[in-house]
Amino acid sequence: FERRIFNFSAGPSTVPEEVLKQAQAELLNWHGLGTSVMEISHRSKDFMAVYEEVLHDLRTLMNIPDSYEILLLQGGGIGQNAGIPMNLMALGKNGPKADFLVTGIWSEKSRQEAEKYGVAHLVASSATEQFNTIPARDSWDLSDDAAYLHYCSNETIGGVEFPDTPEVGDRLLVADISSNILSKEMDISKGAVWFGGAQKNIGPSGVTIVVVRKDLLGHSMKITPSIWDWGKQAANQSMVNTPPTFSIYMAGLGFKWLLKQGGVKVIEQRNQEKANLLYDFIDQSTLYENRVNKVYRSRMNATFFLRDESLNDAFLSQSKAAGLLALRGHKAAGGMRASIYNAMPLEGVIALVEFMRDFERRA
């Protein structure tokens, strides 16, 4: 290809061209220092200025109250599947326990990891519905003695998203926002912990964001490794070990880009528009189908199937040749998936729909 393609990868995923160009322009000589940002000490005043600005911009974009700490960690969402229980489960009234709402592969993975640290109680699951929906609120078996309720606000593999933050009274809510962070407005005060990696809606992989209510720091289990201990990380500016400085710098460029677009409110409308375009096309088609309960369809990961699955390989090879990359669904789900995160322009979705229409005509 002579040009940039449209990349529908679920993560790592497309980064705005402007951001890549700025990183390229600054790579050899950053801020006139005669070195790149990746080559300087994380404790230097120049890097600390980047770090403080990243925190400031993220706080602005997500509208994070001062009563919440922002940690920039490593290890991804998978790391936090262990980190969260180690830091919070001890708050269970009758010993370490947490509730899990299972709406897909990611929330189930979180539940299984937590079992190593205490009781990981299944509140409800949509497994018998092939994870194509969210269990009805009145079917949730919430415990009275659990430390918190964990849920996944957007299931990246199934393409199932909570339209709103669940109402759970004064229970502590832990939200896996790996695949919809910064894609729409979220009322941070409704949750105790919000976490996710940067590699979908922000920039390259390597940095994991954990937003946690400050009063919840300091309850970690004795066994907690120092790098997973939120209280220790908070006391050390997330630098208990050497942080992923280049990923943090890239996330910072991503935040500046999003601010320039007009922030989360503006990108939310654009994301809705992109998703509507794609789902409306799929719904009128006789070749493609989306199987997710309409009210829970993800605006980030649009999953779809070809009714004639013998056409799958042709669909994938021809779409790739047309400059539409990474449309194969996750192997656990099959079919196709178009991930249309913040950095995917409307033109990319238009190009995808045009290709799908043309492919259907020829099929």
Q: What is the DSSP string of 266-284?
A: HHHHHHHHHHHHHHHHHHH
Among 6, 70, 76, 203, binds ligand PMP (CB under 6 A): 76
The answer to whether 302 touches 353, Cβ cutoff 8 Å, is no
Judged by CB under 6 A, the number of residues near ligand PMP is 11
Give the single-character DSSP code of 128.
Answer: G
Q: Of residues 106, 194, 230, 257, which has the active-site annotation?
A: 106
To the question of whether residue 103 is assigned a binding role by annotation, the answer is no
Nearer to ligand PMP, 123 or 356 (CB): 123
Using rule CB under 6 A, residue 179 touches ligand PMP? yes
Cα 109 to Cα 132: distance, rounded to the nearest angstrom: 17
At 120, the amino acid letter reads A
Using rule CB under 6 A, residue 245 touches ligand PMP? no
To the question of whether residue 87 is assigned a binding role by annotation, the answer is no
User: How many degrees, rounded to 5, is the angle at CA 248 between CA 247 and CA 249?
Assistant: 90
Compose the 149-178 pattern: x for residues touching ligand PMP by CB under 6 A, - for all others.
---x---x-------------------x-x
Long-range CB pairs of 38-41 (<8 Å, 24+ gap) are: 38/245, 38/246, 38/249, 40/245
CB of 107 to ligand PMP, least distance (A): 8
Using rule CB under 6 A, residue 78 touches ligand PMP? yes
Of 127, 17, 133, 10, the residue nearest 77 (C-alpha): 10
Using rule CB under 6 A, residue 100 touches ligand PMP? no
Using rule CB under 6 A, residue 113 touches ligand PMP? no
Residues from 259 through 298 that contact ligand PMP (CB under 6 A) = none
* Residues ≥6 apart with Cβ < 8 Å to 159: 290, 292, 297, 298, 301, 302, 303, 337
Q: Which two tokens stand for residue 213?
A: 């209510």
* 274 is an active site residue: no
Residue 68 pairs with which residues in a beta bridge?
A: 213
Using rule CB under 6 A, residue 77 touches ligand PMP? yes
Strands 149-152 and 68-73: what pairing? unpaired
Cα 66 to Cα 64: distance, rounded to the nearest angstrom: 7
Q: Which residue has 């937590």 as its token pair?
A: 114
**What φ, ψ does residue 98 adopt, rounded to 5°?**
-145, 155
Using rule CB under 6 A, residue 11 touches ligand PMP? yes
* 308 is an active site residue: no
* 228 is an active site residue: no
Among 6, 8, 68, 106, binds ligand PMP (CB under 6 A): 106
Using rule CB under 6 A, residue 14 touches ligand PMP? no
Using rule CB under 6 A, residue 103 touches ligand PMP? no
CB of 31 to ligand PMP, least distance (A): 29
Using rule CB under 6 A, residue 229 touches ligand PMP? no
CB of 73 to ligand PMP, least distance (A): 11
Among 96, 197, 204, 335, binds ligand PMP (CB under 6 A): 197
Residue 125 pairs with which residues in a beta bridge?
A: 102
Nearer to ligand PMP, 85 or 359 (CB): 85
Q: Of residues 30, 97, 99, 176, which has the active-site annotation?
A: 176
**What φ, ψ does residue 2 adopt, rounded to 5°?**
-90, -15
Residue numbering of the annotated binding site for pyridoxal 5'-phosphate: 106, 156, 176, 199, 241-242
The residues of the shown chain that bind ligand PMP, judged by CB under 6 A, are 11, 76-78, 106, 152, 156, 176, 178-179, 197
Active site residues: 106, 176, 200
